[in-house]
Amino acid sequence: MRKRTVRVGIYCIIVAVIIVTAATFFHSVLAAWLGLSSYTEARLVYDGLFWGGLCGGFGVVVAVAGLLAGPPRDPECPVRLTPHLIVLAAVIFIFALLLLSSFRYPDAPGLRPGETITI
C-alpha cells in the first residue's frame, strides 16, 4: 500500500464533498456573493455537482490504486492516514447533517416579482 497515494485520493474525495456541499446547500449565498443571475446560479449548481463528482471519482480511483500498489519504495517514511480519514468522516457527517436538516426544514418559497406580503 502506498500511503501517500491513498492520502492524495482522500484529499480529492474531501474536496469533492466540499464542492458538492457548497453547490447544493450554499448556492444562493455563493450567487449573491458573486453577483450571479438566477440562470447562472442554476448553472453553478450543475457545475458544482459535475466537478464534485469528477473530483470524487478521481479520488476514489487514486485511493484504490494506492491501496492495490506494491510496497512503498521508502518504508521508513511514516505517513499517517488517520487524521485524513477523520477529516473525511467529519466532512461527510456535515453533508449528511445538512441533508437531513433540508428535509426537516424546507426553504420557504420566495416572492415572485410584483408580489407583496400580506400580514
SS (H, E, C) 57-115: HHHHHHHHHHHHCCCCCCCCCCCCCHHHHHHHHHHHHHHHHHHHHHHHCCCCCCCCCCC
The position carrying cell 480511483 is: 61
pTM of the predicted model as reported, rounded to 2 decimal places: 0.80
Convert the pLDDT of each residue in 50-92 to its tens digit: 999 999 999 999 999 998 987 766 666 677 888 999 999 999 9
Which pLDDT belongs to residue 118?
73
Which pLDDT belongs to residue 76?
64
Selection from 70, 69, 72, 80 nearest residue 7 by Cα: 80
Packing angle between helix 3-25 and helix 82-104, nearest 10 degrees?
20
Convert the pLDDT of each residue in 27-38 to its tens digit: 888 888 888 888
